[in-house]
Amino acid sequence: MAPAVVVGLLTAACAVPSFGAPRPATRQGGHIFSLWQGFFLAACAVGAFMLALILYTVIRYRARGDAVPDQGSSNRLAEVVYTATPIAIVIVLFVLSVGTERLVTRRSAGPVEVVEVTAYQWGWEFRYPAEGVTVTGAENDPVPELVVPVGTTTRLKLEAHDVIHSFFVPEFLEKRDLVPGLHNVLDITPTRTGVFAGRCAEYCGLDHWRMDFSTRVVPEPEFRTWAREQATKSGAP
Ligand SMILES: [Cu+2]
């Protein structure tokens, strides 16, 4: 009964293609998403194999009288297989992880948009140097909005002035720390429009929970209109 439930749960989990991860909204997030699917499927396969081995052993070697079983202390073939197989699995997963990491952290040859992201206790500032636009919001009032165009790469230059914060939008499937004195960079290429909630993902003090922001991915023309409106509002040329 219990094994049937476990198999049922595993099958149900495997039937969901995202395996619980948010649907990615960026190209880089798509790479992480594929890696996650690979890891999850590998875990399903290992789990199913182990369950099968346990069931086989329980049935095949159940007590059958008082005869003394084989007293051999080792089985070289089994030992080699159960040592080599996990090592091989770890090597494959490691190579896939390094490949994905390279894809995700590779800086775009020519980023179209640049946004200077500054985190502070307790809020965010998004500065668009080319457009002369600055969006600020502190302590959730109002929640600052990061607006980026869909289909083009936006380079986020991450800075912190006080303590360590972390830029996190679940749908981007990436998290990057903002460390005082370090110039971290995150290139994102949104693949679909929408509004995605973001937050600071590094405990940074008493009001850390207030560090929410919103990310709005819009079509390029809409982005241009928005930038022009913001620049006019703040009196920039
Ligand atoms: Cu923070």
Burial of 54-72, coded b for 16+ CB within 10 Å and e otherwise, reads eeeeeeeeeeeeeeeeeee
pLDDT of 15 reads 53
Rg (CA), the chain: 25
What's the CA-to-centroid distance between 163 and ligand 1, angstroms? 8
What's the CA-to-centroid distance between 183 and ligand 1, angstroms? 16
What's the CA-to-centroid distance between 218 and ligand 1, angstroms? 26
Amino acid identity at 6 = V
* pTM of the complete model: 0.82
What's the CA-to-centroid distance between 57 and ligand 1, angstroms? 52
What phi-psi label fits residue 181: left (phi over 0), alpha (psi between -120 and 50 degrees) or beta? left
Rounded CA separation 10/23 (Å):
21
What's the CA-to-centroid distance between 182 and ligand 1, angstroms? 15
What's the CA-to-centroid distance between 99 and ligand 1, angstroms? 30
Every domain of the chain and the residues it spans? 2-59+79-105, 113-233
What's the CA-to-centroid distance between 87 and ligand 1, angstroms? 39
Domain topology for 113-233: Immunoglobulin-like (2.60.40)
What's the CA-to-centroid distance between 10 and ligand 1, angstroms? 37
pLDDT of 58 reads 93
pLDDT of 20 reads 87
What's the CA-to-centroid distance between 103 and ligand 1, angstroms? 27
What's the CA-to-centroid distance between 119 and ligand 1, angstroms? 7
pLDDT of 186 reads 94
pLDDT of 64 reads 80
Determine if the peptide bond prior to 142 is cis (ω within 30°): yes
What's the CA-to-centroid distance between 82 and ligand 1, angstroms? 45
pLDDT of 12 reads 57
Of the candidates 105, 135, 101, the residue with the CA atom closest to the CA atom of residue 118: 135
pLDDT of 234 reads 73
pLDDT of 3 reads 58
Residues in the chain: 237
pLDDT of 128 reads 96
What's the CA-to-centroid distance between 202 and ligand 1, angstroms? 6
Residue numbers in the chain where pLDDT is lower than 70: 1-16, 138-141, 235-237
What's the CA-to-centroid distance between 228 and ligand 1, angstroms? 29
What's the CA-to-centroid distance between 144 and ligand 1, angstroms? 14
